[in-house]
Amino acid sequence: MLANLLTASSTLLEIYRAQFKNTIALQLQYRAQLVIWLLFSVFEPIVYLVVWSTVAKSSGGVVAGYTVPEFAAYYIALMLVNHLVFTWIMFEFEFRVRNGQLSPRLLRPVHPIHNDIADNVTYKMLTLVVMLPAALVLTALFHPEFHSPPWAMAAFVPALILAYLLRFLTEWTVALAAFWTTRVAAINDLYGTASIFLSGWVAPLALYPPIIRAVANVLPFRWGLAFPVEVLLGRLTPREVLGGMAVQVAWVVAAFVIMRFAWREGVRQYTAVGA
């Protein structure tokens, strides 16, 4: 039993190692596209930062408990956290199903999700060498104020890992809708719009009306982005952090169970549609 487990783990590590090499080569081949994505990842939070900093200045320097330097800290942290947890599988899976690219992946001895995890992690490792200096430049320009006690910085690590698992599993599950409808743009747009407004991307959730915050606390979007940012910035109490992590774990388990079921049912009826 143990020998079989070790053999399977070794095989999986070899697969990940090979996929890492392939992804790095692919990303370097399309350098212009890589630069465009990085610019978008940096410039969009800067726009929100400038907007809300302006609002705060015109409102006496504080909006919903955020000062101008704290807005800067929020959006710089948000930029880095979003870079580490975001996925793009929803926008690719439809193409795989519709054009039959999923077929050869189903013949491989490992689940296709492992290739997507390796691609995602490799891209982020490769682009962090740009994102981290960008964060330092923004820090020098906007002078953020971080009030992060040591316990919050330590709690940030598991909160970030859970946020990544939640985002990846949830969006991989949403992508599986392509098994039942080969045009999923409307589903992706609906999910993306809800995510933008309820994840804390446009504005800190503290700025929203109570009813919107209540909805955000129930749905998974906050827990996949705003929550680890709030933990890192020390804006939550230890009790709130533990409660938030419990919600993250619950959503991760739910997303995993739903994904397993949707994958099994979807593969049963899968047929390559063709271009």
> Tell me: the pLDDT tens digits for 176-207?
998 888 778 889 899 999 999 999 999 999 99
64: nearest Cα among 186, 204, 229: 204
User: What domain range is 95 assigned to?
Assistant: 2-269
Residue 155 located in a structural domain:
yes
Distance CA 211, CA 208 (A): 8
Question: pLDDT per residue over 126-162, tens digit each?
Answer: 888 888 988 999 999 999 998 889 999 999 999 999 9
> Which pair of structure tokens corresponds to residue 168?
């990846």
Provide the number of structural domains found in the chain: 1
Distance CA 64, CA 66 (A): 6
Residue 274 located in a structural domain:
no
Residue 85 located in a structural domain:
yes
pLDDT at 31 over 90: no
Residue 275 located in a structural domain:
no
Say what the pTM is. Answer: 0.88
Reported confidence tier of residue 32, pLDDT bands at 50, 70, 90: low
**DSSP run (H or E) holding 62:** strand 62-63
Residue 216 located in a structural domain:
yes
Amino acid in the structure at residue 48: Y
Residue 73 located in a structural domain:
yes
